[in-house]
Every structure is written in C-alpha cells, then in structure tokens.
Amino acid sequence: MSAEQGKTVSPSTAPKFGRLDADMGDVDVALGRAREHLLTLQHPDGHWCGELEADSMLEADYIFLHTLLESGDPGRLQRAFTEMMRYQNDDGSWSIYPGGPGNISLSVKCYFSAKLMGLTADEPRMAKCREWILAHGGVIECNTFTKMYLCALGQYDYDAVPAIPPEIVLFPNWFYFNIYEISSWSRSILVPLAIMYAKKPFKKIQPEQGIDELYVGGRANSILRLRRDRKKLFSWRNFFIVIDRIMHWSEAVHLRPLRKLAIKRAEKWMLDRLEMTDGLGAIYPAMMNAIIALRCLGYSEDDPQVIRARDEFEKLGIEQPATEDMPEPTFRMQPCMSPVWDTAQAVYALGEAGLPADDPRMVKAADWLLSKEVRQKGDWAVKVPNVEPGGWYFEYNNEFYPDTDDTAQVLMALSKVTNPRERLQIQVAERAIDWEFAMQCKNGGWGSFDKDNTKMIFQYIPFADHNAMLDPPTVDITGRMLEMLAAYGYNQSDKRVQKAIQFILSEQEPDGSWFGRWGVNYIYGTFLVLRGLEAIGFDPLEPQVQQAAEWVRMVQNPDGGWGETCGSYDDPNLRGSGVSTPSQTAWALLALLAAGDDRSDSIAKGIRWLLTHQRPDGNWDESMGAGPTRQNIITGTGFPRVFYLSYDMYRLYFPLLALTTYKKAMERAA
C-alpha cells in the first residue's frame, strides 16, 4: 500500500483522489456524541425503549375496532384518521413500507376506514383509491384477516372466508395438526380469531359507509367467481380448500358436536395467556382480536378482563401534537413495544464503545434486564418440556413467549456488565444458555419462539395467506447465537456449535449473501452471520466468508453507504439495493470488519458516510420525505412480504457499534 493510501484524513480535508480514511479524531468525536446521545435516552429505571413503527394498517384497524364495538374517543379516532390519510400514495393506494408498491389488503382497509370516518366515495382521494383497488382485483384479493374484519361490519360473507374453526384447539399435542405446530404469533392471533369465526360478530353500518363499489363486477358475482376458482385437479392447497368447504357445510347445517367444548377450550387458552403479559402475545393483532373475542363471549364492557385488554391495547398509542411540519395533531399505534430488545442492544453497544462495565448506568440496565427473566413455562415448553424456564421476551411483559433472539442479545449485553450481584447474574446466564441449547433445532439453527416449527404443509391452509404460519430456524438468529456463545467461552469444539455453523454454511446464497428474516434483508442476514462466524473462531480466509465480504462491497452505493429495500423479499434481484441508511450502512461495515476487511476503500467510504451524516446531537436520520409526508425508512421485518417495522433506535446503536468496531480494528492494525 502506498504512503498516500495509508494516510488518514479528516472529512473536511479529504483529497479528491486516493483513499478516504477518516481521521481517528473525527471517529472519536462521533463516537462520543453517539454514546452520550444514547445515554440521554435511558429511562430512570435503567431501560431503553424506542418507538416501533409500522404501516397504516394499525390506524385503519383501530378505527374498525372502535366502530365495531361502538367505543373510542372521537377526537382520537379523528387523529388516527389524519395519521392514516397522510400515507396515501399518489396512485391512491397504501403501501406496507415507504416507497413500496400499493398493497390490496391495506388499501381496502384504509378506504373502508376512511368511509367509516365520514369520507364519501366521490371524494377525489377515495375515487383514486377505488380505481386502484378495482384494477388490482377488488376486495376478494384481500387476505383472510382483512376479510374477517369486513364480515363483522357486513362487508363480506362469513361463508366465503376460509374457515378458522375453534376445534383446532382440541387437537392433542401429539397430533400432526395441532396449534403448537404453527408459529407463536399466528397461534395468538388465530385462537381469538377462531372464537370470532364461531360467534360471527355483526354490526350494521350505514349504507353509505359500505364498500360494495370495491367488488369487480359486483359483490355477489365476485364471491361466486372466487368459489369457482380451482386451477389444479389436486394440490395440497386444493386439498385444504375441500376440507374448508366441508367445514363451511357443517357450519351451515349446524353439525358441530364439539363446538361448545372447543369455544370453552379456546376461551381458557386465551385467558391463561392474558396473564403476566401486556395483552395477548403483547402484539397488536392478537390484542385487538382478544378484545373482540371477549365481547363475543359475552364479557361486558366493565368486566376486568375487557378493561385490562383495552387498557393494554390503548397503551400502544402515541399522541403527536401539531408541529410546524405537521400542522394537524395525529394519533398512531405501535405494533408492540421493544424495551428488552432496545435495552440489550444499547447496553452491548455502550459496553463495546468503552463505557465501564461497572458504570452505574450499565449496572442499572443490567438489573432491569435481570428483572425481566422468564421464570414460567410457556408455549415453547410443549416441544421442550424438560428444561428449566429461562430467557427473555421482547416487550415489557410477555411471560409465555420468550424468544431465542432477545435472549441471545440480552446475554451479550450482560457480558458487558460487572454487576455487584455477580452470582445472580451468572446463574441467570447459565439458565438462559441451557434454555437456548434446548431450543436448538434439528438442523442446527434456531427459530425465534419455538423449536422445529417447520411443517411446510401449514402454508397451504386457506387462512394461512398472511405468510407467517411457521417459525423455522434462520441464519440471522443463529449467527447472533454463535456470537453470544463465544462471549461465554464456547468454541468450535462444541458439537452444537459445529452443527450451527454447518446450518449457516448450508444456507448461503449463490452470490455469497445470507437471507435476513428479522431485518431488511440480505445485508442484515450477512452481517449477523459474519459476526457470529468471526466470534466463534471460523477462519475469515475461508471462501464462504470472503465471498460474502465481496458481495457486501459489490452492493455499496455510490455515496459510500448501504441500503436495501423491503422489496428484496419479493424480488431477490433487489438484494442489497436501496437508498443508504445509517442502520444498514452500519450492518454492512460490521460484516466487512468481521470478515477481516479493515483497509478497503469500501470500509473507508462507509465510515465517512456515517461521519458526514451524523447529526449534531449524535444521532442519525433515517427517514424519507418532509413535512406531513415524512416517513421513517423501514429496516426491520415482522413478516416478510406482509408486515415491516421501523425501529427508532436502530439508527443510533448500530452506527455506534460500527464506529467502535472500526476504531478497534484500526488500533489493532496500528
């Protein structure tokens, strides 16, 4: 390397030619600002919790819920309507991520909610939306969850919705088709939805609020065509469709000998899981469905169960006062809250960034995390019965649903803290690691909430069109697991570690990247895999690692940053393609550094991108648009192709970690 290439420069004095290495003094300044800003966001009890944003479905469903139950604050509903309408696309549709194509289910929900709030069909925004919906097949193209909600207000036929019989809760755990063979989130959504299907709630609305105009060729003809649409003589999907029609026939003739028992069992299942939690599953759809299911079961408005379920649901709301950029106040809903996740990420990043392990703020955060340890068996124990409870969940309280990813990140965070209660912290960590190993899947990887949740046949069930029926092992969680295990002294001599490595290597894409299930997308998956492999001692010169690093360098944007659109879940050709963001730039840099690359132009340009885009307060901006149309860019994943998330703090603690890792690499190379 030439002398010119090895010279470091500050952003203000960077040459037009040659390397673009940042001055380490500038890196230190940026690190200091980011670290201090992150510390200002810590709550008095020690935890962090950034806002979690999703799409306009949450506000549309909020309006639907309160319309159905004749409840809600009118002012808040109006503010939710204002929030929903500001995200309408120019073509009239709504998208599930900023800059994405219109989504039929979301657009129908928003159109209907707008009518419920008083907009008429001939209003220009509504006419444009209606035109878009009809051009994309109309109401019958919506997913099952949307159709169920439409049924409750008389805008779709229960007989035309895929059957969700409550009898599914009666299947024994050893039976192939039991509720513990579907993902935990689908389980918590579907059980109350099955109660709704059995009870068939209905509220009559005003004729002008209806959406018959959204059916291509009229409502009756559209639903008739849907029932006749059978393209193949035999397929698993058509097999389940036949079963579905049989169940509908039994509904029509009231041939349901086990219905009363099934509803009682579903009710008990739901009530049990409303305990020790911030609402059923502590996630928006399940919480909303539980409220409706309770009312369907006859629970009154003033019943403690209903009051508590409503209170937990409303806690997800955020009131936004009017500002110069946003002249009208709005109200938005979060899909859930992320305090355990944000706290674990923040503590780990701060520990890596040099905050002393015995700093009172670190100890307070560790104590808060320790207070959230799971000590009761949940749904996971159906498949893993003989292990002591341990681990952590994502939200403030969700005792039935700890997950392997949060648990791994919390353990990494605790490894950065010297706690006066050292013995307790060690015992908790040992329990959690034992639990993690018990949750390892047969193929060596880890899923999120359950073990070996991989029966692909479930994706063909008619009501499984939300694309999230399963919780299979993923490389992103497995990569984080390897990094955590390395922090606690495990290495490649452990057979369980070897199996995890083989799983990861078997999942590598031909171009060298890895798919990211819980973050957008291949950049996220590749970053976590390479971090895990590096930590566990996998040789960085192995071709799998170097091919991955080359892929990361190849997808770098001309401005020096990295970004990837949620569209890469629909079209793999878009992998690594998107506007540069702080979080994804940080992931890419962390991936390259984990692969042993600390001197390439890609690294230098990426670090400079982070430095030049940092705000004076130490944070970074991760949004697009301005004023009323401003939206946070999505870099988190709920359900690929269906539901995405924006984590408010990703743009802070991941760049902090990337700059810290770069600084350490430079110090080692000096």
CA atoms within 13 A on the CB side of 307: 3
E-strand spans in 41-192? 52-53
Query: Taking a C-beta distance cutoff of 8 angstroms, is the pair 305, 294 a contact?
Result: yes
End-to-end CA distance of the chain: 14
CA distance linking residue 575 with residue 582, whole number of Å: 17
Q: Is 406 annotated as catalytic?
A: no
CA distance linking residue 444 with residue 447, whole number of Å: 10
* DSSP per position, 413-473: HHTT---TTHHHHHHHHHHHHHHHHHT--TTS-B-SSSSSB--GGGGGSTT-TTS-S-B--
Q: Which residue in the list 55, 403, 405, 450 is annotated as catalytic?
A: 405
DSSP state of 102: B
CA distance linking residue 513 with residue 617, whole number of Å: 34
Query: Taking a C-beta distance cutoff of 8 angstroms, is the pair 524, 585 a contact?
Result: no
Phi, psi at 354, each rounded to 5°:
105, 0
DSSP state of 180: G
Phi, psi at 403, each rounded to 5°:
-135, 155
CA distance linking residue 638 with residue 471, whole number of Å: 12
CA distance linking residue 175 with residue 177, whole number of Å: 6
Phi, psi at 44, each rounded to 5°:
-55, -30
520 residue type, one letter: V
143 residue type, one letter: N
Residue 162: CB atoms within 10 Å = 19
Q: In b/e form, how buried is each residue of 316-354, taking b as 16+ CB within 10 angstroms?
A: bbeeeeeeeebeebbbbbbbbbbbbbbbbbbbbbbbbbe
Q: Identify the CA nearest to 440 among candidates 478, 475, 468, 476.
A: 478
**Catalytic site residues?**
405
